[in-house]
A and B are shown apart, each in its own frame.
Chain A
Amino acid sequence: MKHFLIGLALLTLVPVLAHGAPASSIVTVQIRDYAYKAPAVTIHTGDTVRFINDDNDAHTVTSTDGLFDSKGLDTNGVWDHTFAKAGTFHYFCELHPYMKGTIIVKDVNG
């Protein structure tokens, strides 16, 4: 049961309804034990990924292509990024570059 709850906490989808627009979601990725606990996440355009640093050290969420950068995320820090375009986006931690993750964004109308 404990593992099930932890699993739920790692990746949470929260639909957000806008006026007349397709529902967008907030996907949560926890950062803990020097890892992105959902290293590969698939979302749709317009969705937001919320990164929460639950580690005892600072981290970043930095695009390998320079498209986004959380800058320093201290312990308990939270950073949201909304993905407007479809594609595959790789990111890493600027402070611990062996930490890597991927966001796959599919076209909401596709």
Chain B
Amino acid sequence: MRRNDFLSHVAWTGSGIAYTLSGAGIFTGRALADAAPATQFVQISDSHIGFHQPANPDVGATLKASVDAINAMPVQPKFVVHTGDITHLSTQAQFDDARAILSQLRAPLVALPGEHDVLGNDFKTYRTNFGIKDAEDGGWASWDDGGVHYIALLNVFNFEKMGLMGNDQLAWLKKDLQSQYQQTPIVVFTHVPLYALFPQWGWTTEDGASALAMLSTFDHVTVLNGHIHQIVTHVEGNIHFASATATAYPQPQPGTAPNPGPVTLPHDQLLHAIGYRTVRLDNGTAGIEQHSLG
């Protein structure tokens, strides 16, 4: 199977496939039955609670199905990260509905905002409901666990310029990374892709190159994001990027439609295009297993 064919296959079926990013940017797939069980964390993304269009008339149910599946894992992950767009229009009612579901997770939750969570540049409502514990004043955070340095970056400031982190956050990131050894595995979470994945649709971070320049000096860096509702992988030097599927609905592959936006599929196909993923780190390399809801 050619690389593009495999990407497409994973993006639209997903279920039962594990893929690992190698240092050469080549990734391999295998059946889940062969996958190692040591999940370190789980990523979910783009739940869009409050969305009520034909692409998914019940986004609460598909988020709940993801939570139930994660809770049923025999070994619970160290944490679950939600990489943004928890809500569709960042209303308190939508945050309440999202919290009612996500609070059922057995594992601790780390939730980043997407641009849908901070409409009107209002970060207060997001932070009141889902702000990261012990975060910096700007809302971003880092922590160490199991020899891995995790960083949660917020790149939905000033969305007119696509994703944006801002100078304060970049200055903090520089200082944060200075305390890390070159060999320490780094895992970065963002909402919008940190690199120019498809700027025409807003799938980029205006000042992402500055962050990537800092990260490029480390041996093992994994950047996991949401926003685009599909799996796309990319490699730049030692930095491995992998965007996630949504729990709500898929979007078109870049450039295959006039616009981004919700893609309406028959229900059984929808369930195959959405879900969550488990991540484990072996010697700094992220092994990502995609789990669809269908």
B contacts, CB < 8 Å to A: 51, 53-55, 88-91, 115-116, 119-120, 159-162, 200-202, 258-262
Pairwise interchain contact A72-B89, C-beta atoms closer than 8 A: yes
Pairwise interchain contact B202-A98, C-beta atoms closer than 8 A: yes
Pairwise interchain contact A98-B201, C-beta atoms closer than 8 A: yes
Residues in B with CB closer than 8 Å to A64 are: 160
Residues in A with CB closer than 8 Å to B261 are: 34, 55-57
Pairwise interchain contact A71-B119, C-beta atoms closer than 8 A: yes
A contacts, CB < 8 Å to B: 33-34, 55-58, 60, 62, 64, 69, 71-72, 74-75, 92, 94-98
Task: Determine which of B54, B55, B259 lies in contact with A33 in the assembled complex, contact meaning CB atoms within 8 Å.
Answer: B259
- Measured between alpha carbons, how far is A72 from B116 in the docked complex, in Å? 8
- Measured between alpha carbons, how far is A68 from B133 in the docked complex, in Å? 33
- Measured between alpha carbons, how far is A74 from B91 in the docked complex, in Å? 12
Residues in A with CB closer than 8 Å to B160 are: 62, 64, 92, 94, 97
14 contacts between A and B (CB under 8 A): A56-B262, A58-B51, A58-B89, A58-B116, A64-B160, A71-B89, A71-B120, A72-B116, A94-B115, A94-B119, A95-B116, A95-B159, A96-B259, A97-B161
- Measured between alpha carbons, how far is A64 from B159 in the docked complex, in Å? 11
| Chain B interface main SS type | loop
- Measured between alpha carbons, how far is A94 from B90 in the docked complex, in Å? 13
Known: A56-B53, A72-B90. A94 touches B262 (CB 8 A): no
- Measured between alpha carbons, how far is A66 from B191 in the docked complex, in Å? 24
Enumerate the 9 nearest inter-chain pairs by beta-carbon distance, A residue then B residue, closest first: A72-B89, A34-B259, A57-B261, A72-B119, A97-B160, A71-B120, A56-B53, A94-B159, A71-B119
- Measured between alpha carbons, how far is A71 from B55 in the docked complex, in Å? 22
Task: Determine which of A33, A72, A75 lies in contact with B53 in the assembled complex, contact meaning CB atoms within 8 Å.
Answer: A75
- Measured between alpha carbons, how far is A55 from B53 in the docked complex, in Å? 10
Task: Determine which of B55, B91, B119, B259 lies in contact with A60 in the assembled complex, contact meaning CB atoms within 8 Å.
Answer: B119
Highest count of chain A CB atoms <10 Å: which of B91, B159, B161, B262: B159
Pairwise interchain contact B260-A74, C-beta atoms closer than 8 A: no
Residues in B with CB closer than 8 Å to A71 are: 89, 119-120
- Measured between alpha carbons, how far is A62 from B53 in the docked complex, in Å? 23
Pairwise interchain contact B262-A58, C-beta atoms closer than 8 A: no
Q: Which residue of B lies closest to A34 (CB)?
A: B259
Residues in B with CB closer than 8 Å to A96 are: 201-202, 259-260
Residues in A with CB closer than 8 Å to B120 are: 62, 69, 71, 94
**Seed contacts A62-B120, A96-B259, A98-B201; 16 additional CB < 8 Å A-B pairs:** A34-B258, A34-B260, A56-B53, A57-B262, A58-B116, A69-B120, A71-B119, A94-B115, A94-B119, A94-B120, A94-B159, A95-B115, A96-B201, A97-B159, A97-B162, A97-B202
Task: Give the distance to chain B from A109, nearest Cβ to Cβ, in Å.
Answer: 33
- Measured between alpha carbons, how far is A69 from B262 in the docked complex, in Å? 24
